[in-house]
Amino acid sequence: MGPFKSGFISILGRPNVGKSTLFNRLIGDKVAIVAEKPQTTRNRILGIKSMSGGQLIFLDTPGIHSGRSELNQRMVRTAIASGRDADVLLFLIEANSPLVEKDQSMIESFRGSKGIRFLVINKMDLVRRERLLPIMDRYQKYYPFKEIIPVSALTGEGIDILLEEIVKVLPESPPYYPEDMVTDQTERFWVSEVIREKVIHHCYQEIPYSTAVTIEAFKENPEKKLVLIKATIHVERDSQKKILIGKGGEKIKKIGEAARKEVEAFLGTKVYLELWVSVEKNWTQNSQVLDQLGYPLTFTHLS
Ligand SMILES: Nc1nc2c(ncn2[C@@H]2O[C@H](COP(=O)(O)OP(=O)(O)O)[C@@H](O)[C@H]2O)c(=O)[nH]1
Ligand SMILES: [Mg+2]
């Protein structure tokens, strides 16, 4: 066996191409939330894959897009920052709808990074193999990617090859994290993300991007094998609060149940989950509120 290798791998791409799905698949655990809606991921999320010959530290990032709100701009800055210091940059595109020009400007925005670039073509389960060659051809024209690898994050096709090719190019280095560590996120943060995922699933039409979740309390009671969690869902308008709560509190109850089940399975204990809804007028445009909610202005993963 060769020397031990470790490094940071940033997963980059437009919204909805499957970055979070790929990230979870590569790590083998649900660390990031996933939705069929764009702009689900807001922070850079770190996931660790420890193998016999190396440690791969993946960074899931918000999609690169041109949204105007301050939240949107912070999200894009977070993505760019996480590509800056990475050893490997995975540019993810969709086999079923490659958008060459948009991806071109995305790839351009990482000009300053020293990382080795791979093109990863996702959603291969949706297209015939013949579609692949012309796509590879077009993308290779404006960047000499080290590797071009077709995968399906959904079925797992191509994932082993992708892992192998990444290990090959990583620098020799001892592991950065303990072998049994899967992420640097706290349980609190993960729980807040699961709640936000359920809100997106249940009310996306009415409340597209304007919710945030904070955890007010997270109390473990080992004797009763119970965890008590109090969380607040922040929305921008009174009308959104009404929608979220639903007739007779029906909607919020469904969201709470779905989130509780997932958190119980994850923590392996019973969970008592209390949800509150609070209106924060136009928080996606308000720097102070964004700071309080923990969306960074810029972010470097090595600091
Ligand atoms: N058919 C198919 N769908 C996928 C694949 N990867 C992701 N998706 C779906 O694409 C949507 C967006 O995925 P997500 O991981 O949240 O994308 P992100 O915005 O780039 O993080 C979700 O509905 C996923 O289930 C894939 O390989 N095949
Ligand atoms: Mg995502």
Q: What CATH code is assigned to 5-169?
A: 3.40.50.300
Give, as residue ranges, everything with CB less than 5 Å from ion ligand 2: 19-20, 40-41
Tell me: pLDDT of 165 over 60.
yes
Query: Does the structural domain 187-293 have CATH classification 3.30.300.20?
Result: yes
Ligand 1 centre and the CA of 31: distance in Å?
Answer: 15
Cβ 33 under 6 angstroms from ligand 1: no
Residue of 115, 89, 92 lying closest to 102 (CA atoms): 92
Q: Which of 13-17, 292-296, 298-302 has the least mean pLDDT? A: 298-302
For residue 151, give the ligand 1 atom closest to its CA: 27
Residue nearest to atom 16 of ligand 1 (CA): 34
pLDDT tens readout for residues 228-263: 999 999 998 899 999 999 999 999 999 999 999 999
Answering whether pTM is above 0.85, one says no
Cβ 158 under 6 angstroms from ligand 1: no
User: Which positions ≥6 away from 144 have C-beta within 8 Å?
Assistant: none
Average pLDDT of the residues in 189-206: 88
Ligand 1 centre and the CA of 7: distance in Å?
Answer: 25
Name residue 220's beta-bridge partners.
227
Residue of 298, 303, 295, 294 lying closest to 77 (CA atoms): 298
8 Å CB contact between 10 and 59: yes
What pLDDT does residue 299 have?
38
Domain boundaries, the chain: 5-169, 187-293
Q: Mean pLDDT of all residues in the chain?
A: 88
Segment holding 129, helix H or strand E: none
Ligand 1 centre and the CA of 122: distance in Å?
Answer: 9
182-to-35, 85, 163 alpha-carbon distances in Å: 21, 20, 16
For residue 37, give the ligand 1 atom closest to its CA: 12
8 Å CB contact between 241 and 277: yes
Residue 43 — pLDDT band, cuts 50, 70, 90?
Answer: confident
Residue 301 — pLDDT band, cuts 50, 70, 90?
Answer: very low
What pLDDT does residue 175 have?
94
For residue 34, give the ligand 1 atom closest to its CA: 16
Average pLDDT of the residues in 74-91: 87
Ligand 1 centre and the CA of 288: distance in Å?
Answer: 32
Joined together, the tokens standing for residue 223 give: 């004797």
8 Å CB contact between 198 and 258: yes
Average pLDDT of the residues in 146-156: 97
Ligand 1 centre and the CA of 221: distance in Å?
Answer: 37
What pLDDT does residue 303 have?
27
Which ranges of 109-186 would DSSP assign to H, the alpha helix?
A: 132-142, 159-169
% of the chain residues with pLDDT over 90: 52
Residue 297 — pLDDT band, cuts 50, 70, 90?
Answer: low
User: Which positions ≥6 away from 245 have C-beta within 8 Å?
Assistant: 251, 252, 277
Q: Does 5-169 match 187-293 in CATH topology?
A: no
What pLDDT does residue 210 have?
77
Average pLDDT of the residues in 122-140: 92
Top mean-pLDDT range of 65-69, 93-97, 110-114, 258-262: 258-262
